[in-house]
Structure 1
Amino acid sequence: MIKNPATTLKIILSAVLIALLANCASKEEQIIVVGSRIANTGEPVELVETAEEQAPIVDSKAVTPIQTKPVQTLNELSKLIKNHKNIHANSTKKREAEYLKEKEQLYHLIATSSEASHQIFKRYGVNPTIQTEHNPISTFSMDVDNGSYKLATAMLEQNRLPNPDGIRIEEFVNSINYQYNQNDALFSISAEAMPSPFRPGYHILHVGIQAKTINDKERNPSNLVLVADVSGSMASDNKLQLLKDAMKTLVSQLNTNDRIALVVYNENALVKLESTSASKKLKIFNAIDQLIAGGSTNAEKGLQKGYELAENMYQPGFNNRVILTSDGMANIGSTSPESILTKVLESKEKGIFLTTLGVGIGMFNDHLLEQLANQGNGNYLYIANARDIQEVFVDQLNSQLQTVAKDAKIQIKFNPKQISNYRLLGYENRHLNQQDFTDPNKDGGEVGAGHTVTALYEIKINQAVNSKKLADLSIAYKKPQGHKVHTINKILPVSLVRTSSETTSPDSRLSFSIAAFAEKLRQSYWARLYSYNDIQHQLNLLPVAYQKQEQVIKLKKLIATAKNLDARTDNFEPNSPIVNINFDRVPLLD
């Protein structure tokens, strides 16, 4: 017998979690599972147990033998057999009920125990520094997700350092509200460059894209299908209650000409509420309140049923959208985003968009939810509390519901005479080839009304050249229900280069500060050059009005927490000592 209960818990949970998570991602992808350090890298996992360490997951109690007296007549025998059958049936149901109860307790234990905190990410690497003379063109799809930043925030607020594989710089940068100027165009473009505070000889090029905003009256009617994960893993971390609160908040903001339907899924999927006018809020709230967690997770069935309903509700010119609410821990059916979305491609092309709304920390599949949104014409959001719900479904409702451009892409062609080197900060999983830019069959990003998309580059400017142009900026996109590719072209002149950070806009300085924070969290090569205190110093130089913003105050707190938690060593130091660092050449490890 094992004397240490913690050891027993580790053994039980490790075995169970490997079984539960074995199908969470396709075999060809490099998936990182953190917590108990179970990794799915395409190689078989061998479990070794000693005799002492073997322990049953569920210990069902034996049925007590039935005491009987000797049988005297055939009638008594008949009654006895019947009695045996009834008792056996009842005991079987009792054992089954006990098993289901213990199974739910196990789900809760897995999701709440510090010994079994599991998150699934995909590692995308870090963009290298590019020599412009060899490759002057940078192409990537737009991204308005916030999942990476919100999940990292939730973890730091629990005094836990987020895993570096879950840090995507663009989602940190695009989670901040910037005060960009707007004109009447679909996309208003702002740009400037400032000397890098941390990489000598380089500037930070800030490109800000503001989508046209609309008011509530201008928002098109919406046909929304909520697809709610009610599997057993949703019983922990207050996940299900958060989703209920989020869905009810969304419904409370809708107009009378909007419609809502509700699909729930665990190992099966069913329609909990057919298409219903948003004016019937009590009926919708009642359906949401009845949701109970239990069972396995078949996200494929849930999404298929949701898209079937969305097809039936579809109306041209409406905001037709499926909203998947889940922790992403799919463990039966198809579990890779590619497989799950294969059967809904026609709906995607038709103009039915997808939002994935993630919750939970203890058991959470970031990779699945992020890629479902990426490949399903949508965006990936994360909520951890009432503040996040308010932000997503009240403050940003029009942006989340009404898409103004789909398959949106950015391409920058740097002037090799003026720019010798450049590096894009983030967007590693949004990279596109040059020829993909105007290819109508290549997926891009979806942008909602009022959304902002910000991209940052480190650039090395050739001061000896007196050119008037830094680069050419182009945007490609389609209309929400169109197939034709439209383009916008702008010149980025040398005049946008500032001589110091003091003469640079607060938005550019703020965006760089949060990007530097993300670089630090994911242990980027260039993050070795500065400390968390250096990032705080940059924020302290912002105007007082900016420092009073809630988003800046929260960012400062997160940086302070990360500083106290981060005791990691420098992985680059043994082979590339910081004293010998070459600011123009980077050892590419990923």
Structure 2
Amino acid sequence: MRKGSLAISTFALVLTACATNGGQDVTVTGHRADSSHTENLPPPPPPPPALIRAAPVQGAYIPAVQIPQNPGRERYEGEEVSPVHLVAQEPVSTFSVDVDTGAYANTRRILMLGQKPPQDAVRTEELINYFRYDYPAPQNREVPFTVSTDLAMTPWNPDTRLLRIGLRGYDLPRDNRPPANLVFLLDVSGSMSSADKLPLVKSALTKLADNLRAQDRVSIVVYAGAAGVVLDPTNDKRKIRRALDALNAGGSTAGGAGLQLAYNIAEDNLIEGGVNRIILATDGDFNVGIRDPDALIELVEKERDRGITLTTLGFGTGNYNEAMMEQIADHGNGNYAYIDSAMEAEKVLVDEMSSTLFTIAKDVKIQVEFNPAKISQYRLIGYENRALREEDFANDAVDAGDIGAGHQVTALYEVVMAGTKGWVAPRRYEPAAPAADSSSNSELAFVKLRYKLPNGEVSKLIERPVPSAMLYTARPAAGDMAFVAAVAAYGQKLRGDPMLAQFTYDDIEKLAGTPSDFWRQEFVQLVKIADSLDGR
């Protein structure tokens, strides 16, 4: 692979960061990226906040906090809630898998501040995929994941059913995981100085560094008014901790320049057959350097095709550009997460990092074809920005999501049985619908999956029929199915989905039950908080 392919100037830069131990100054030599775009000044700060106390919630404590009266410079790019589809006209649904979880943590952060999240900030599939479910594990790497389907009565609509499709990836044993070449790309601009930003970044990445193996390497690149290298590749955990400890925040945000430099470092230390990944940690916008989203995406896709992937970690509030963070992670074949606490850092960067780093299948696409004799209407809950055209499914040139070791992916369809009342009334002039088939010995749908192995270029196909008998034996949602339905309802209610009818937050809480798992217990508290804010 050709080295030094990105246009970055090479004159030296000295970054001075105040160390946290003993007040020592640390001088770091790096490189300044092309500064031709630095004439753009950052936008003005948001207006002063007003003090608001959230309504009390039984079982949940919300302190009095400073809440901005407008969302400041935070940016989201949500899609409209998925529409209803008529099987007679559109029997096939196709989408790319999604293993991001950032929308859940970000929504939690906003709720804990006593605000309802913007509807555009809520992506229901990311809320659903924040949790793990009881899917069977694959037996070997030849077929790297299992496909499960089940069906239940819809809690918010007695006339429909919920079809769940679940994937679970093969979990690579630690000894069989490939070596990792990681570049930490850290925003050290002035806006990162608050406790929930750079200090949390340092703590979070220290946790990740503590889990490195002898064959792994970490480099650290920082960016503020300019970009520089603060740590050359090493697996010495003490050096990594010292480099992180020494960082201080100050200056504007040359994020685009930092990203270019990080890719250069990753490419110079590329591990053939290994994991080569940038881990970007920032509080928001790239306000100096490459600012055009299309230019950033083009850079990320070019490096992705060279084998260097990108994970984005969001921190803090105020100028947070969530839209950019999610987009570039998706185009970089990585994942996007939001870190709002030390516990979330532990979850994302320790408990789930093997899933994040070690890809077992790439370009994973799901296609579901519904049988019009069994199903008349359907809608996919979430995945609005992951929709693909039907012809994209078999086209190996179309990029899609990746699945990491041990990862899970869950998708929910709400479906209307043929011959029963649906959301869309019959049209006057449409052809007669196929006669409803009441037999239980056929299929209600056919599920197909396409995926490529990590080093493959030709996709493999998995096919699973969904027996129609499930329609006639469907029971009220219980156990895992009840919980996933509760999360789906919660996400759609935050989005203002009219299909939920009169289903309340109290109904969602009852549906979720009394979980024993900490993260599920926290979800129930978030439902209570959203309920209190709805009535405030």
Q: Give the TM-score normalised by structure 2.
A: 0.82
Measure, in 1, the Cα distance between the counterparts of 2:317 and 2:306. 34
Map 1:12-411 → 2, pairs under 5 A: 20-21=42-43, 114-115=68-69, 117-118=71-72, 119-184=74-139, 185-276=143-234, 278=235, 280-411=236-367
Check 1:433–1:191 CA distance in 2 against 1; reply closer, same or farther (3 A cut): same
Q: Does 1:480 align with 2:434?
A: no
Measure, in 2, the Cα distance between the counterparts of 1:563 and 1:245. 33
Corresponding residue for residue 520 of structure 1: 493
Deviations 1:159-186 (A, max 9, x none): 2221111000000000011121123231
Structure with larger RCO (C-alpha < 8 A, sep 6+): 2
Measure, in 2, the Cα distance between the counterparts of 1:237 and 1:246. 12
Relative to structure 2, which stretch is displaced further, 305-314 or 114-123?
A: 114-123
Which blocks of at least 5 consecutive residues in structure 1 are unaligned? 1-17, 23-32, 37-110, 569-590
Check 1:494–1:336 CA distance in 2 against 1; reply closer, same or farther (3 A cut): farther
CA contact (8 A) 2:150 2:164 kept: yes
The structure in which a higher percent of residues are helix is 1
Q: Secondary structure at the match of 2:335?
A: strand
Deviations 1:48-96 (A, max 9, x none): xxxxxxxxxxxxxxxxxxxxxxxxxxxxxxxxxxxxxxxxxxxxxxxxx
Q: Which amino acid aligns with 1:162?
A: P
Corresponding residue for residue 491 of structure 1: 465
Q: Which structure has the bigger radius of gyration?
A: 1
Shift in Å at residue 528 of structure 1?
A: 3.6
Measure, in 2, the Cα distance between the counterparts of 1:370 and 1:214. 26
Measure, in 2, the Cα distance between the counterparts of 1:112 and 1:305. 37
Measure, in 1, the Cα distance between the counterparts of 2:352 and 2:138. 20
Measure, in 1, the Cα distance between the counterparts of 2:132 and 2:323. 25
Relative to structure 2, which stretch is displaced further, 118-127 or 473-482?
A: 473-482
Q: Identity across aligned pairs (percent)? A: 37
Which blocks of at least 5 consecutive residues in structure 2 are unaligned? 1-39, 50-64, 420-435
Q: Which amino acid aligns with 1:555?
A: F
CA contact (8 A) 2:67 2:113 kept: no
CA contact (8 A) 1:116 1:362 kept: no
Q: Does 1:436 align with 2:392?
A: yes
Q: Which amino acid aligns with 1:262?
A: I
Q: Does 1:510 align with 2:483?
A: yes
Measure, in 2, the Cα distance between the counterparts of 1:146 and 1:246. 16
Q: Secondary structure at the match of 2:328?
A: helix
Measure, in 1, the Cα distance between the counterparts of 2:276 and 2:471. 42
CA contact (8 A) 1:237 1:362 kept: no
Q: Give the TM-score normalised by structure 1.
A: 0.74
Q: Does 1:447 align with 2:413?
A: no
Q: Secondary structure at the match of 1:297?
A: coil
CA contact (8 A) 2:300 2:328 kept: no
Corresponding residue for residue 416 of structure 2: 460
- RMSD of the alignment, in Å? 2.3
Check 1:564–1:505 CA distance in 2 against 1; reply closer, same or farther (3 A cut): closer
Measure, in 1, the Cα distance between the counterparts of 2:69 and 2:118. 16
Q: Secondary structure at the match of 1:363?
A: coil
Map 1:530-545 → 2, pairs under 5 A: 530-540=503-513
Q: Secondary structure at the match of 1:409?
A: strand
Check 1:154–1:500 CA distance in 2 against 1; reply closer, same or farther (3 A cut): same
Q: Which amino acid aligns with 1:221?
A: P
Measure, in 1, the Cα distance between the counterparts of 2:183 and 2:255. 15
CA contact (8 A) 2:196 2:341 kept: no
Q: Which amino acid aligns with 1:20?
A: P
Q: Secondary structure at the match of 1:564?
A: helix
Shift in Å at residue 487 of structure 1?
A: 1.7
Deviations 1:261-302 (A, max 9, x none): 0110113111111111x2x11111111111111111122111
CA contact (8 A) 1:195 1:501 kept: yes
CA contact (8 A) 2:178 2:275 kept: yes
Corresponding residue for residue 52 of structure 2: none
